[in-house]
Chains A and B, each alone.
Chain A
């Protein structure tokens, strides 16, 4: 059984079928890039995996546990934070928090809930929370160093360049150590000279053995970084294979047409 199994995911917006039965598998440590023209369901697929959209049908299994569909909505919520992380096209950092606060926020909330469940006395709880917060801050510093921004930890998002903001967003997504990290066109909102620094970070994560799904328009990057490429067209996976299979020897007519258009 594969680590991630996505089976026959469907999603309709009104009358428009955006996903018409998408199935694929991936193993832990693999990097899968999803390519294809805009409006063919790539982003919707990622959003379904992160429960930002609820699929109309199909199933999602991570490490043998079915995360969709689940019986209870609550259960879904609890599994969600751990299974998937998401990096958005336009970062969505929290503007009122510094870089490091953006990263510690969710960790601190989690720590608070965990400590609450332990049923400690007030003073013990306060001490435990303080300790957890200090720990989270250390984790956040390590993560910021990981994306090369340890000297920007006290800066607000508005004081950072797009590339730096996206790197903070990556660190934020890593903070909860998700099993699978998803990227939704992570460099599409960036100036060309800033894409490099973000792609470098993602490459570094690949070398660490992170499991990642990347929706991207950067063909060269997808080719270099991925174990598998998924080409989506018209709400279905048109073709799936290794980078050389897809880029050098595409089988589908639609894939070939896409590349021909992309290289124009």
Chain B
């Protein structure tokens, strides 16, 4: 029983980190993705090119590699992780979490940007024209007319990507961040039983199940009209 409690405490701590990484990634990658989407549709060629290449590189290489790269890059310039930690006023563990989060945000923003782009490009040009002849500015057309239609269209692919993110958080362990899976692994090693993996699986399932329900509800809520 004491073992079980220790396992659970450890797993919950890991789960907390998993949720934190998930939340930070979503919170920052969702708006950044929209910015990138506008960049990739920009009429300003250099910007468009830059974003297209960025998306190609990020989508074309493993996320794990990107995490490692972010964490090793400072040391290439002779800056140690603990120096960065003290400069930022963080612990080393938090700094590693910061590196992981940075890689996640960039990676997911790129994927999100393509989903946004698909959604924005699917809006019929007539919607823009109707707004224009009513004297609305480009910004007003986007915020008042287009955006909510885009949200509705991209909800299914977005929920797909966000559920993938739940599981991708386990990659954080390459830098030794104590996420849910890493905590489970530690407990498996410590007590030489496999049950911590099972518990971890249940946590992941509950989390993604909750998200599935949430997105289902959102989709239903937004389907009060036909596109």
| Residues of chain A whose beta carbon lies under 8 Å from any beta carbon of chain B | 50-52, 77-78, 80-82, 84-86, 88, 90, 92-96, 105-106, 109-110, 156-158, 172-173, 175-176
Contact = CB atoms under 8 A, between A and B. Distances in A.
B146 to A, nearest CB: 9
B145 interface: yes
Contacts of A173: 133-134
Interface in B19-40: none
Contacts of A92: 124, 126-127, 129-130
Contact of A77 (B135, B224, B226, B227): B135
B136 interface: yes
Please indicate which of the listed interface residues A78, A109, A156, A173 has the most CB atoms of chain B within 10 Å of its own CB: A109
A60 B38 CA distance: 34
A51 B137 CA distance: 13
Nearest to B147: A96
B225 A96 contact: yes
20 contacts: A51-B132, A52-B129, A52-B132, A52-B133, A78-B135, A80-B135, A81-B133, A86-B129, A92-B127, A92-B129, A94-B145, A96-B148, A96-B152, A105-B134, A105-B145, A106-B135, A156-B225, A157-B225, A173-B133, A176-B135
Contacts of B126: 88, 90, 92
B224 A156 contact: yes
B137 A77 contact: yes
Please indicate which of the listed interface residues B127, B134, B137 has the most CB atoms of chain A within 10 Å of its own CB: B134
Given A94-B127, A157-B225, A158-B225, A106 B149 contact: no
Given A96-B225, A158-B225, A50 B133 contact: yes
Interface of B: 124, 126-127, 129-137, 140, 144-145, 148-149, 152, 224-227
A110 B135 contact: yes
B225 A172 contact: no
Nearest to A51: B132
A105 B140 CA distance: 10
Contact of A95 (B129, B133, B144, B225): B225
Given A95-B149, A95-B225, A95-B226, A176 B134 contact: yes
A82 B136 CA distance: 12
Contacts of A50: 132-133
Minimum-distance CB pairs A-B, first 8: A81-B135, A106-B134, A158-B226, A92-B130, A92-B126, A86-B133, A156-B225, A95-B225
Given A88-B130, A105-B145, 12 more contacts: A77-B137, A80-B133, A80-B135, A81-B134, A92-B124, A92-B129, A92-B130, A94-B130, A106-B131, A106-B136, A110-B135, A173-B134
Contacts of B134: 81, 105-106, 172-173, 175-176
A94 B227 CA distance: 9
A158 B140 CA distance: 23
Contacts of A157: 225
Contacts of B224: 156
Contacts of A51: 132
Contacts of A88: 126, 129-130
Nearest to B133: A86
B166 to A, nearest CB: 29
A184 B130 CA distance: 12
A95 to B, nearest CB: 5
A158 B135 CA distance: 24
A157 B140 CA distance: 21
A85 B133 contact: yes
Nearest to B124: A92
A51 B140 CA distance: 17
Nearest to A158: B226
A243 B140 CA distance: 41
A95 B140 contact: no
Contacts of A78: 135
